[in-house]
């Protein structure tokens, strides 16, 4: 038997998996990404920057602005 089609469709519509994350061990906490994010998804928590997956839309198909502005390669990456 295959998967229930309705369930598969529901899961594919969920946007919570569409998000980037910040690799904390590489982040220099420069803060540049915080001001570039159009969804205010990036905030400092304790002493590291984190991306709220509930707010990040991966810039809706545009190049992710956080990754573009981040001076450290491969630090804003798909979650």
- Which C-beta is closer to ligand SF4: that of 11 or that of 26? 26
Q: How far is the CB of 31 from ligand SF4 (least distance, A)?
A: 5
* CA distance linking residue 74 with residue 30, whole number of Å: 15
Residues binding ligand SF4 (CB under 6 A): 20, 22, 27-33, 36-39, 41-42, 49, 51, 56-59, 64-66, 69-72, 75-76
- d(CA 45, CA 29) in angstroms, rounded, equals 11
Residues 36, 33: Cα–Cα separation, whole Å: 5
Residue 10 or 24: the one with the smaller Cβ distance to ligand SF4 is: 24
């Amino acid at each position: 038997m295959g998967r229930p089609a309705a369930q598969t469709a529901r899961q594919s519509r969920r946007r919570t998996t569409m998000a980037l994350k910040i690799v904390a061990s590489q982040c220099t906490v420069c803060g540049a990404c915080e001001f570039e994010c159009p969804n205010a998804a990036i905030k400092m928590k304790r002493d590291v920057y984190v991306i709220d997956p509930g707010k990040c839309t991966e810039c809706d198909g545009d190049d992710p602005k956080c990754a573009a502005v981040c001076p450290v390669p491969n630090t804003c990456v798909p979650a």
